[in-house]
Every structure is written in structure tokens, then in C-alpha cells.
Amino acid sequence: MGKHKLENTLNNIKATGKPLFVPYMMAGDGGIDQINERIQFLDECGASAIELGIPFSDPVADGPVIQDAGVRALREGTTLKLVLEEVRKQKETRNIPIILMTYINPIWNYGYEQFAKDCDTAGVDGIIIPDIPMEEEEDIAAALAGQSIAFIRLAAMTSPDERLEKIAQESEGFLYAVSVSGTTGERAQHEETTLHYLEKLTKLSFVPVLAGFGISNPKQAKHLAAYCDGVIVGSKIVHLFAEGKQAEIKELIGETVQ
């Protein structure tokens, strides 16, 4: 048994031999009332967990599709507090793991301890923070550890082996293997070096390894998942939701995990 519920849930799915599939959605895009409807829909499509983005004014790691979704969500009045309240309601009836993706600034404003406490009360399973380097993560890591919330680390293809090893071994819940150099967004294909990188991380990591960035169809997803434990898909899902193409989301997840 792992230290975090998220890790155990993912390992149980992994044990069935199917690839893990974690869709990303921008909380509040389409309205606050869509947050829980969309989570439910993704759960029913066969998602292993949900990565829920908190909109932020300065999203340095986001590509254009997710940036635009963030602007729409902010216009809807989405705040971290409102999202946590929606998660709390969701968790009263559903068990799907919820991972918050937020930059460090909104957490800093909220207060690290308060944030960790409120996440725990809401039932948040894990956190991804793309803009906090390992050297500066001590305080937020301690706050999250105090509430047993999995702190998911991101590995980058440009990191030297020594650093990758450290990140892989510290990651909680799962390891996010960023599989392109650059921002989020669909890519036609991934390079051979990406596959070696995924294999290397899978050997180093104690938790499941998920590849994310640039994945937009089942063929690509299955190809990458063969070198790790599964995939994360963001821009494509955000785009399809914005266009009201739920049937295509269902197909994308269903065909990958079948």
C-alpha cells in the first residue's frame, strides 16, 4: 500500500492491465455549475482521475487553448474558494480522485496551511503546482504533507538524470512526465527520445508515471502509455468541451482505456 489514496486508486486500475487516463478540465469554463456536471461526465467516460485547473491571470505553462479557457473561467467569476466548494459537493456522492492544478501564487494568497486544510475538507486528493521549483517547495510540501494530500511532481525532458531521479522518487500519487519541451497543446507526434525518457522515469519512480502534453487522440495515447502507466490529456478535452462535443470526449477516453 502506498502513502496516498490517489496512488492506491491508480495502482488498482493499473492492476487491471488498462492504461490510466487523466483528463484535464478548466474549472469554471462554461460556468461554475458545469464543474460538477463535467466531472461526472468524465467519470462516466472512464477517467481514472480528474485534473481540475484553477484559472489564473498569469498561466506561464499553459498553451493558447487552456489560456483562453482560463480567461473565460475568470470571467465567470471562478475562484479557488468556489472550486473547493464544488469539489466538496461532488465528493459527497462520488469517489473519482480530484487533482487540483494551480500556480503557486493563488495558493500563496490563500495561505499554505489554510489551503491544505480546505483541500482536505473538500476531499481533494492531489495537487499539481507547475511553477514551484524543487528548491523552493519546502513550505508548501510541509503544508500538504500535514493533510496527507499527494504532491504530484512534474518531470521535464530537459532535466539532467540526477534531478529526474530526485523528482521521480519524491513524487506522490503519481509522477507527471511532461513529454514535450514547451507549453501545453496538441502535437502531431512525440519523438523517440520521449519514449526513452518515459521508460527511464518508470524505472525510477515508486508511483505510477503518466505522460502529459501534446496528446490528442487514442492512437497517440496508447502508444505513449505503452512506455509508462497512462496519459493526461488537457487541451483536446478543453477544446471539445468548449465546442459541446462531449461524444468525442467519450470516444477519446473509451478507445484509450478499452
CA-wise closest residue to 178 among 161, 153, 205: 153
The one among 23, 53, 208, 230 contacting ligand IGP by CB under 6 A: 53
Residues 209-248 that bind ligand IGP (CB under 6 A): 212-215, 232-236
Minimum distance between the CB of residue 7 and ligand IGP, rounded to whole angstroms? Answer: 18
Site pattern 112..151 for ligand IGP (x: CB under 6 A): ------------------x---------------------
CA-wise closest residue to 93 among 43, 50, 52, 45: 43
Minimum distance between the CB of residue 25 and ligand IGP, rounded to whole angstroms? Answer: 9
CA-wise closest residue to 124 among 157, 146, 164, 96: 96
CB contact set of 249 (below 8 Å; sequence gap of 6+): 23, 41, 42, 45, 237, 240, 241
Minimum distance between the CB of residue 93 and ligand IGP, rounded to whole angstroms? Answer: 25
State the residue for C-alpha cell 512525440. 190
The partner residues of 6 in beta bridges, in order of sequence, read: none
Residues 175-214 that bind ligand IGP (CB under 6 A): 184-185, 212-214
The one among 24, 115, 174, 227 contacting ligand IGP by CB under 6 A: 24
Minimum distance between the CB of residue 137 and ligand IGP, rounded to whole angstroms? Answer: 15
Give the whole-angstrom CA distance, residue 201 versus residue 79: 34
Per CB under 6 A, does 61 bind ligand IGP? Answer: yes
In terms of residues, how long is the chain?
258
Instruction: Judge whether 236 and 252 are in contact, CB under 8 Å.
Output: yes
User: Could you list the residues that contact ligand IGP (CB under 6 A)?
Assistant: 24, 51, 53, 61-62, 66, 101, 130, 184-185, 212-215, 232-236
